[in-house]
Chains A and B, each alone.
Chain A
Amino acid sequence: MSARSPRPSRIITTLLAAGAIAITAGCSGGIAGGNDPGESGAAPEGPIALGMLAPFSGSESAFGVYMQQGAELAIQEINADGGVLGQELELVVEDDACDATTSVAAANKLVTEGIVASVGGYCSGATLPTLPIFDQAGIPMVIPAANSNDLPDAGLPGVFLINGTGTQQAQSAVQYAQQEGATTVAVIDDATSYSADLAEAFVEQADAAGVEVAFEATVTPGENDYASVATQLAQAAPDLVYWTGYYQEGALINRQSVDAGFEGIFMVADGSIDASFAEITGEGYIENVVGTFTQTPDMLVGAESWIADYEELAGAAPGPYSTQAYDAVRIVAQAMEDAGSTEFDAVVTALEGLEDFETFAGPLTFTEDHTRESGGFVIVSIDPESGQFVLKDDLQG
C-alpha cells in the first residue's frame, strides 16, 4: 500500500515530522525540563498536534479552506504567545469530502498521526461516524461547524459543539418573532431530516413561548410550483412564517406566497442563506425576508483587525466558519492550559468547566450535553443593493 500510495509526499512529511518529534523529545531535558509543572508526564513533549477533518474536495470544499485558515490563524497567535503548556501547536488537516466513508478513513489517519484533540467537523453526516473513532482513541472533539442534534445525542463524553444546533436556531427564530410582536406563526419544511427537525423544534419553542402556530406544512423539494402551499399560507395569514429548507424552494415559496396575498414576515433558516435567494425570489419580494444564521466574519462588529490578520495569513478574506474554527482552536488551547495536560479526562473536565469564554458568537459555556448554552445565531436580512444577506440583529441586545 505505502509503496503505491498516490500521495508519497504525505508519508515523507509524516516521517519527517515523527523524526522531528523524536529529536525534540531528545532535547527536551535541556530546554523544557526546567519549567516542567508538577505533574511530570502529563505535559506533552514536542508540538501538540490538533487534527481537523473538513471537506477539501467536492461541493463543500470552500468551507474546508475557510475552516483550515481560521484554525491556522488561531494557532499562529497562540504560538506567538508562547504556545500551550510550553509547547507549540500544530494543525494536521485531512479531507473528509463531506462523505461518511472518506471521513472514517481520514479520522483513523489522524489518530495514527498522533493528534491530541480534534477541531474539525463540517458536515454532520460525515462527522457522526468519526465520533466513536476519536472516542476510542481518547481524543476530545470540539466541533466548529457540524450542528446536527445527532452529534450530542450520541452521548460520548469527549464531544463538544460550538456552533448552535437546531434547538438554538429555533430559539433565535422564536425570539425574533416575539421581538417583532408576532402572535401567530407558521412553519414550512421540505421533509429532509435537517429541515423537519428544525421545524419541529420551532413549533415546540413557539408553543412554549405562547406564540400560536397557525399553519404547518411540508413540501416536496425539487419542484417549481408551490402555489397550493402558498395559497394555504396566505389564507392562514400568520404574522411570520419560518421556512426551514434550502434557498431554491424557499425563494420560490416566498415569491408565490406574496403573489397569493401573504403579507407577513418570511423567515428562513441557515440552509436558505445564499445570495441566490434574492435573485430567484426577484426584485420587490425581498423586503419581508429575514433569516436565522450562524454569524460570519463580514457580520462581525469591530473585528477589522482580526479580518486584517486573517487576510495577511490566508491571502483571502475570511468566510463562513472561519471564526468558528478559530474559536475551536482557542477553546481547546484554553482547556489544555486549564487542565495543565493534554490527557483526555483532564481536557474534557476543563472544557466542561469553561465559563463565558469569549467567542465570536458571544460568551460560551457548555451545557450538560456539551452544546452552547445560548447564542450562536443572528438575524440577517437581504441588502437590496447586493442581494447578499447582511446582519440585521445580533439578538444580544
Chain B
Amino acid sequence: MMQLIWNGLIVGSFYSLVALGYSMVYGIIKLLNFAHGDIYMLGAFVGFLVLSSFGGIPAAMSIPALLVILLLAMVVTGLIGVAIERVAYRPLRSSPRLAVLITAIGVSFTLEYGIRQLFGPNPRAFPVRLSSESFDVLGMRVSLSQLVLVVVAAVLMFVLAHIVERTREGRAMRAIALDPQAAHLMGVNVNRVIATVFFIGSALAGAAGVMAGAYYGSIDFLMGFVIGLKAFTAAVIGGIGNLYGAMLGGLLLGLLESFGAAWLGGEWRDVFSFAILIVILTFKPTGLLGARVVERM
C-alpha cells in the first residue's frame, strides 16, 4: 500500500512539473501549448549532450553534477521556450485560437523529428545514473535518487509559487491572466511577462526531462509525447490555469495509475485512471481547484 503511494508520487511529480507549464501558459494566454511535452524531451537531450561532452563523471560527484546540469538545462530549455513563443505564438496572438493550436502542433513535430534527425531514432542511454540503492521506510522501498527527485521537484514548485504570489512579476502574470488589455493599459509589459511565463514553464519541463533521464536512464525523441498528454490531463483535472491544481492533478494522476495497475493489472491502468478522471470532470467540470470561469471577450 505504502509502496503504491510512493510509486505514484514519483510518477506524479514528473506529471506535476510538466503540468505546471501547461497550466501557466493556458492561464495567461489561453493557449494549449502542445509542444510542451517536447520541451521535456529537449531538457533530457540538453542534459545528455552536456554530460556526454564532459566524458565520465565519478559516481560520488553525480548528484552535484546533475544539479548543475539541471540548472543549465533549465536555462537552455527556458530560452528555447521563449524563442518558440516569439516565433510561433506571438505573431498569431490575435488570430483565431485554432491557428495557434496548429502552430503548437507544428512546433511539437518540428522538435520531435528535428531531434530524431540529430540523435537518431533509437533510444539513448543517459550518461549519468542516480544510484538506486534503496532502504526500507514504513514498508516502502525508497532510494536516495527518488528522494532527491521528489525534493528537487518540491523545491522547484515552491520557488514557482513564491514567484507567482510574492513578486512584482508574478502580480503582472496574474493581472494578464485576468485581463490582458487592462493590464496593458495599467503599464504592464505584456510581451515581456508572457515571455517570462514561457521561460519558467519550459524550464520546469526541462528540469523534469533531465531528472527523468537520470532516474530512468533512457531517453528518446518521442519521450515527451505520452507525458505531454498525461500532464495536460493532470492540468485539466486540477483546474487548468491554477498552479496548485496542476501540482495536485499531477500527483493524483500518478496515484491513480499506480493503484489502477496494482488492482486491475497494467493493461487496465489507463482505463481505470481515465474513467475516474471522467467522473471527476463530470461533477466538477472546472477541475478540482478550477477557479470560477471568467469568460473574456
Residues of A bordering B, CB below 8 Å: 59, 191, 217-220, 222-225, 227-229, 231-232, 247-248, 251-252, 255, 259-261, 276, 279-282
Separation in Å of the A383 CB from the closest CB of chain B?
Answer: 16
A-B contact pairs, 17 of them (CB 8 A): A217-B267, A220-B266, A222-B226, A227-B258, A228-B4, A228-B257, A228-B258, A231-B7, A251-B217, A252-B217, A255-B132, A260-B141, A261-B141, A276-B124, A279-B125, A280-B123, A280-B218
What are the nearest 7 A-B pairs in CB distance?
A279-B125, A228-B261, A218-B267, A227-B7, A224-B216, A280-B218, A248-B123
Closest B residue by C-beta to A219: B266
Separation of A280 and B220 alpha carbons in the complex (Å):
11
**Which parts of B191-236 form the interface with A (CB within 8 Å)?**
212, 216-218, 220, 222-223, 225-227
Q: Give the contacting residue for A251; candidates B134, B212, B218, B225; CB below 8 A.
A: B218
> Which residues of the partner chain B approach A229 to less than 8 Å between Cβ atoms?
261, 266
> Which residues of the partner chain B approach A281 to less than 8 Å between Cβ atoms?
217
Q: Give the contacting residue for A59; candidates B121, B132, B262, B267; CB below 8 A.
A: B121
Secondary structure of the B contact surface, majority rule: helix
Are B266 and A259 neighbours in the complex by a CB distance under 8 Å?
no
Secondary structure of the A contact surface, majority rule: helix
Separation in Å of the B165 CB from the closest CB of chain A?
Answer: 31
Separation of A191 and B269 alpha carbons in the complex (Å):
13
Separation in Å of the A278 CB from the closest CB of chain B?
Answer: 9
Are A222 and B222 neighbours in the complex by a CB distance under 8 Å?
yes
Separation of A150 and B237 alpha carbons in the complex (Å):
43
Closest B residue by C-beta to A222: B226
Chain B residues within 8 Å of chain A by Cβ, number: 35
**Which parts of B251-297 form the interface with A (CB within 8 Å)?**
257-258, 261-262, 265-267, 269-270
> Which residues of the partner chain A approach B124 to less than 8 Å between Cβ atoms?
276
Residues of B bordering A, CB below 8 Å: 3-4, 7, 10-11, 14, 121-125, 129, 132, 134, 141, 143, 212, 216-218, 220, 222-223, 225-227, 257-258, 261-262, 265-267, 269-270
Knowing A228-B258, A248-B218, say if A222 contacts B225 (CB, 8 Å): yes
Separation of A247 and B262 alpha carbons in the complex (Å):
23
Are A217 and B265 neighbours in the complex by a CB distance under 8 Å?
yes
Are A228 and B226 neighbours in the complex by a CB distance under 8 Å?
no
> Which residues of the partner chain A approach B217 to less than 8 Å between Cβ atoms?
251-252, 255, 280-282
Separation in Å of the A161 CB from the closest CB of chain B?
Answer: 28
Separation of A252 and B266 alpha carbons in the complex (Å):
15
Separation of A237 and B242 alpha carbons in the complex (Å):
43
> Which residues of the partner chain B approach A224 to less than 8 Å between Cβ atoms?
212, 216, 218, 223, 227
Separation of A356 and B141 alpha carbons in the complex (Å):
53
Separation in Å of the A219 CB from the closest CB of chain B?
Answer: 5
Separation in Å of the A382 CB from the closest CB of chain B?
Answer: 14
Are B269 and A220 neighbours in the complex by a CB distance under 8 Å?
yes
Are B123 and A220 neighbours in the complex by a CB distance under 8 Å?
no
> Which residues of the partner chain A approach B225 to less than 8 Å between Cβ atoms?
222
> Which residues of the partner chain A approach B220 to less than 8 Å between Cβ atoms?
248
Interface centre among A251, A280, A282 (most CB of B within 10 A): A280
Are B226 and A223 neighbours in the complex by a CB distance under 8 Å?
yes
Are B218 and A252 neighbours in the complex by a CB distance under 8 Å?
yes
Separation in Å of the A55 CB from the closest CB of chain B?
Answer: 15
Knowing A59-B121, A191-B267, A252-B218, say if A227 contacts B10 (CB, 8 Å): yes
Separation of A282 and B227 alpha carbons in the complex (Å):
23
Are B226 and A282 neighbours in the complex by a CB distance under 8 Å?
no
Closest B residue by C-beta to A217: B266
Are A218 and B265 neighbours in the complex by a CB distance under 8 Å?
yes
Closest A residue by C-beta to B132: A259
